Amino acid sequence: MSNALRARPAATPKANEVDYTDPKYWNGLIKMSLSKFFILCVLNRQRMHGYDITKAVEDTTQGCCSPTPGALYPVLKEFEAGGYVTVEHEVVGGRQRKVYAITDRGREAFRVAVQAWTEVGACITAGGKDACCG
């Protein structure tokens, strides 16, 4: 066999490179995307403050997605900047809280997201890798 055809040993990713063979990478990527989806999902049901959003996402996904404050609030800020949610300040029990509500633009984004995730889910469940990538 020529040297060109010999398999090369897999290189170990450097510290600043993504290891695409690490399930943690894929789980994190999927959960981050799903968290955005489910944040819109729970806000589509009702307006709520941050802690309630986290609990509702966690309950809706049976614990699969549980956005931390460090993940939740940047997403909410991004959604607010894009016009997908609005923020109101309310005083509850003497404490001021931000209450988030989905906008019509947010409802449209959620509708599009449902369609996209449905297509991806159908592709995956239709036959695994051969259905999507074969």
Whether residue 102 is predicted with pLDDT greater than 80 in this model: the reply is yes
Mean pLDDT of the 34-58 span? 95
Higher pLDDT residue, 111 or 119? 111
Instruction: Kindly state the DSSP code that residue 64 receives in the 8-state scheme.
Output: S
Q: What is the mean pLDDT of the chain?
A: 87
Lowest mean pLDDT among 62-66, 84-88, 96-100: 62-66
% of residues, the chain, pLDDT over 90: 57
Residue whose C-alpha is closest to residue 32's, from 80, 79, 64: 64
CB 102 within 8 A of CB 85: yes
- Tell me if the pTM is above 0.85: no
Q: Which of 10-14, 85-89, 93-97, 120-124 comes out lowest in average pLDDT?
A: 10-14
CA 126 to chain centre: 23
> Region 43-55: what's the mean pLDDT?
96
